[in-house]
Amino acid sequence: MKKVCVIGAGSTNYGKAKESITELAVNAARDAIKSSNIEPKEIEYGLISNVFGVADKQVHLAPVIMTNLGIPHVPGLTIESACGSGSIAFREAYANVAAGFYDVVLAVGVEKVTHTGTTRSTTLFSYCSDFFYEGGCGVSFPGLFASMARAYITRYKASEEDLAMVAVKNHENGMLNPKAHVRKRISVDDVLNSPIVASPLKLLDCCPFSDGASAVIIASEEFAKKHGGEYIEVIGSGRGASPAALQNREDLTTIPSTRAAAMQAYKQANLTPKDIDFAEVHDCFTIAEIVDIEDLGFFEKGRGAAAVREGLTQLNSEISINPSGGLKSKGHPIGATGIGQIVEIYEQLLNKAGERQVKDANIGLSHNFGATGASCAVHIFRSV
Ligand SMILES: CC(C)(COP(=O)(O)OP(=O)(O)OC[C@H]1O[C@@H](n2cnc3c(N)ncnc32)[C@H](O)[C@@H]1OP(=O)(O)O)[C@@H](O)C(=O)NCCC(=O)NCCS
């Protein structure tokens, strides 16, 4: 396999967007192309991650985006894997470059749903669950993650305050991110007193519905070296899967796809969780971040909530988790999220993250899953 690098990255603001889905994607792609200092015509392939293009009346996004970038003859493919679409599109781009099919690939993630309103967005998103057993029976994602939260709290004697502390930390980091959707400092009491969405999860335990787009340029190491700009290296890539419906899982306090994807990525990178300086993890609900940091091996099973309580996951502590603000504060435009995490890692490893810079960041990990973890990809990156 060839060595693979990320040579450019760009993102729109996350939040409620006025632009169309195509404009969002093209704006992020143009930013990534500009930061990589290549010409659009050097791109050989495009992977677009998106779930609900239909909500903005545009599917078959790849040719539309490529045409708007002035490269209508470059082939592209749209990838859907629910909230994990971005990292899975990145993985496909990685595999194509590693295998030698292409030297330069554009990966763009985009979503635009907020104009449909909370009720409609909740219904649309429920189509990403195992609809026969979950969405179709009236269980939306807050309800599914609430089941996981209840199981975790009961088994590990954690508290709703512990969950709230994840939100407080991620909002604190998001305050330092000018592109974040919800830039608001909050307290544990704010979280505990916010309206209940699906007990024990309250409004401030949930990520928002967001619009936005993120893009990266992936290239072979030969191209990156010859080209001469700044880049980071992809040193581990893993994929995992779990039964789609929660009822078919043996344990609600762990996500098997995360563990499988992480194990592959660590093995390929020849690293252990202790070697990771910071991670962007999938915190769609506060409970998810606690489960993630255990499944990724940063903390022992059952220790995640205590680690958050002890401040071990804050910016520049033992391991900086979600320096961008995470899905909770930065926002969760589902097709864009996994690519947006990699944009953050690119900026962190190139020392361009401004006020939220992780000190001495050398190795970063991204973790992004679809639905309640039915699909997952983990990537590990290092500065060169
Ligand atoms: C939590 C949730 C129910 C709130 O929806 P809502 O009650 O319709 O909220 P609104 O859009 O009316 O916003 C009300 C206020 O709360 C804020 N807000 C909304 N969602 C928020 C969130 N998740 N975190 C922080 N603030 C939020 C809004 O900015 C708004 O503030 P303002 O009045 O100062 O402008 C909704 O965001 C949600 O379902 N999130 C989960 C999305 C999801 O499932 N994603 C997939 C994950 S797998």
CA distance readout (Å), 153 to 222, 301, 304, 320: 49, 13, 11, 23
Q: Give yes or no for residue 171 CB within 6 A of ligand 1.
A: no
Catalytic site positions: 83, 332
Residue 279 CA to ligand 1 centre (angstroms): 24
| pLDDT tens, residue by residue, 177-205 | 999 999 999 999 999 999 999 999 999 99
Q: Is the peptide bond before 200 cis (omega within 30 degrees of 0)?
A: yes
pTM for this prediction? 0.98
Mean pLDDT of the 271-285 span = 98
Which band of pLDDT confidence, cut at 50, 70 and 90, is reported for residue 124?
Answer: very high
Ranges of H-type helices in the chain: 21-36, 61-68, 85-98, 117-126, 141-156, 160-174, 188-193, 221-227, 256-269, 286-295, 304-309, 326-329, 334-349
Q: Do domains 4-116+210-233 and 124-206+236-383 have the same CATH topology?
A: yes
4-116+210-233 maps to CATH 3.40.47.10: yes
Q: What is the pLDDT of residue 205?
A: 98
Mean pLDDT of the 229-250 span = 97
Nearest CA to ligand 1 atom 27: 208
Which band of pLDDT confidence, cut at 50, 70 and 90, is reported for residue 238?
Answer: very high
| pLDDT tens, residue by residue, 97-109 | 999 999 999 999 9
| Backbone φ and ψ of 4, nearest 5° | -120, 140
Name which of 80, 44, 49, 81 is nearest 62 in CA terms.
Answer: 49
> Which atom number of ligand 1 is nearest to the Cα of residue 145?
48
Nearest CA to ligand 1 atom 21: 208
Q: Give yes or no for residue 361 CB within 6 A of ligand 1.
A: no
The secondary structure element, H or E, covering residue 109 is strand 104-111
User: Best substitution site from 118, 192, 368, 375 to test ligand 1's pocket, by max atoms within 8 Å of Cβ?
Assistant: 118
Residue 327 CA to ligand 1 centre (angstroms): 12
Q: Give yes or no for residue 122 CB within 6 A of ligand 1.
A: yes
> Which atom number of ligand 1 is nearest to the Cα of residue 171?
25
Per domain, the residue ranges of the chain are 4-116+210-233, 124-206+236-383
Mean pLDDT of the 355-371 span = 98
Q: Give yes or no for residue 204 CB within 6 A of ligand 1.
A: yes
Q: What is the pLDDT of residue 119?
A: 97
The answer to whether the beta carbons of residues 84 and 368 sit under 8 Å apart is yes
Residue % of the chain over a pLDDT of 70: 100
**CATH of segment(s) 124-206+236-383:** 3.40.47.10
4-11 and 232-241 beta bridge pairing:
antiparallel
Q: Give yes or no for residue 168 CB within 6 A of ligand 1.
A: no
| pLDDT tens, residue by residue, 149-178 | 999 999 999 999 999 999 999 999 999 999
Q: Give yes or no for residue 207 CB within 6 A of ligand 1.
A: yes
| pLDDT tens, residue by residue, 202-228 | 999 999 999 999 999 999 999 999 999
The answer to whether the beta carbons of residues 104 and 71 sit under 8 Å apart is no
